[in-house]
């Protein structure tokens, strides 16, 4: 079977220095908040063009922390796409707020600024919820339309989070999403473009006070500089818990892994783009291949094509088993949009529902994508898809 994502090829490339870095942490004993944590936060800031970076335990925690810091809670609305991983919407109910689901652009699969505007206007008119923030997602690694989305947020006084769990490293006109967003979050789950050897995440931000608040929330609401400056204490203010926080720390071991992986990340992004270019050259005359926003660079967390399920002609759901027989794995992200899932179906959607999201869920299919995909394997994949489409008739949507 051709690997869908080949983490072992990456591990072989990273070699002994990676294992040495892990062993160094094991021997040091600094398992929590060891020196690798601060160094990783510094390097992620340089890479991601962000003044402040907070490492944390997962991409989900990275999304919860800013909502907590802004005091978003019951009665508040946070707008997000439904065509995403569940965590994007899960964090709103976690803080007591309501997600409001917005439709996506049919070509980039990212938040549609027109649907966003309509959803905000509708929520304001209904008068039940207070619009507070927007979470845009860089789905499959490609940047969302930040200039347009940020303009909508500015017009309505909303905070903007870029959920870049799949898109960390993506750019638009050379700028990272944090250029437009108040906060960028990411995940270092192993299968993400920049992954560690377990769970991890980060919050990139621009404001020192806000970052300070995140530092406090990450460790049980502990007093931070802004809480103690100008005051005197009878006890060490380290043990002063001034707000409700949580434990959202990243392990030092994961920071050590990420410091090694960051060294080759730019090169891997270039390799992913070469793989994507070859897929497009081999397939785009027959099926719908991905679109990256003009001026954008994707990090290709997924390479997702579309085949409509046409009755009697074969489509997405027939392609997957045929490829599997030939040793080619595929995956469907996402077969059930979040707003159609039971527990999330109670939350509002943009007016008129989410027709683009509903349609895409039935026709997307993701192909093997990683920096180490060989041209031989890629040629096999391309040939197998071409043969399928040519026997089953035009399946491009």
Ligand X SMILES: *Cc1c(COP(=O)(O)O)cnc(C)c1O
Judged by the rule CB under 6 A, the positions of this chain that interact with ligand X are 58-60, 84-85, 87-88, 137, 163, 165-166, 187, 189, 199, 201
* Least CB distance to ligand X at residue 229 (A): 33
CB of 255 to ligand X, least distance (A): 15
Distance in Å, CB of 63 to ligand X, minimum: 6
Q: How many CA atoms lie within 13 A of 184 on its CB side?
A: 31
The residue number with the shortest CB distance to ligand X is 59
Q: 138: which DSSP letter? A: -
User: Which is nearer to ligand X, 166 or 171 (by Cβ)?
Assistant: 166
The C-alpha atoms of residue 275 and residue 162 are separated, in whole angstroms, by 25
Residue 93 or 237 with smaller CB distance to ligand X: 93
Q: Least distance in Å: CB of 334 to ligand X?
A: 10
Rank residues 201 and 296 by Cβ distance to ligand X and give the closer one.
201
- Between residues 202 and 365, which has the closer beta carbon with respect to ligand X? 202
Q: Are 210 and 222 in contact (CB under 8 A)?
A: no
Q: What is the DSSP letter of 143?
A: P
- Which residue, 388, 383, 170, 369, is CA-closest to 272? 369
Q: Can you read off the two tokens belonging to residue 244? A: 């409700």
Q: Is 62 or 319 the residue whose CB approaches ligand X more closely?
A: 62
Directed axis angle between helix 208-218 and helix 59-69, to 10°?
Answer: 120
Tell me if 287 sits within 8 A of 390, measured CB to CB.
no
Min CB(88)–ligand X separation in Å: 5
User: Comparing C-alpha atoms, which of 280, 302, 298 is closest to residue 385?
Assistant: 280
């Amino acid at each position: 079977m051709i690997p869908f994502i080949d983490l072992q090829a990456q591990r072989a490339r990273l070699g002994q220095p990676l294992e040495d870095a892990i062993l160094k942490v094991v021997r040091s004993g600094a398992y929590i908040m060891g020196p690798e944590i601060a160094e990783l936060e510094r390097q992620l800031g340089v890479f991601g063009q962000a003044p402040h970076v907070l490492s944390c335990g997962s991409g989900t925690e990275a999304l919860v922390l800013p909502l907590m810091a802004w005091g978003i809670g019951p009665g508040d609305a946070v707008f997000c796409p439904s065509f995403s991983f569940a965590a994007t919407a899960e964090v709103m109910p976690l803080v007591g707020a309501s997600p409001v689901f917005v439709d996506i652009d049919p070509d980039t699969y990212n938040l549609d600024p027109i649907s966003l505007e309509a959803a905000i206007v509708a929520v304001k008119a209904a008068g039940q919820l207070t619009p507070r923030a927007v979470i845009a997602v860089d789905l499959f690694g490609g940047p969302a339309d930040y200039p347009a989305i940020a303009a909508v947020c500015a017009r309505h006084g909303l905070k903007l989070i870029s959920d870049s769990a799949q898109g960390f490293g993506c750019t638009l006109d050379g700028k990272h999403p944090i250029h437009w967003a108040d906060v960028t979050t990411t995940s270092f789950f192993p299968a993400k473009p920049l992954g560690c050897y377990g769970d991890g995440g980060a919050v990139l931000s621009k404001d020192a006070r806000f970052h300070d608040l995140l530092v406090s929330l990450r460790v049980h609401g502990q007093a931070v500089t802004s809480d103690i400056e100008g005051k005197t204490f009878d006890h060490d203010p380290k043990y002063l818990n001034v707000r409700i926080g949580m434990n959202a720390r990243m392990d030092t071991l994961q920071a050590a892994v990420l410091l090694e992986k960051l060294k080759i990340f730019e090169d891997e992004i270039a390799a992913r783009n070469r793989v994507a270019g070859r897929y497009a050259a081999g397939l785009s005359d027959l099926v719908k291949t991905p679109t990256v926003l003009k001026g954008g660079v994707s990090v290709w967390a997924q390479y997702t094509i579309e085949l409509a399920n046409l009755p009697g002609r074969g489509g997405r759901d027939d392609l997957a088993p045929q490829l599997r027989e030939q040793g080619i794995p595929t995956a469907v992200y996402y077969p059930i949009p979040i707003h159609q899932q039971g527990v999330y179906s109670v939350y509002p959607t943009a007016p008129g529902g989410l027709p683009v999201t509903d349609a895409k869920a039935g026709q997307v299919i993701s192909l093997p994508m990683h920096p180490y995909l060989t041209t031989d394997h890629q040629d096999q994949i391309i040939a197998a898809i071409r043969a399928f489409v040519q026997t089953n008739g035009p399946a491009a949507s």
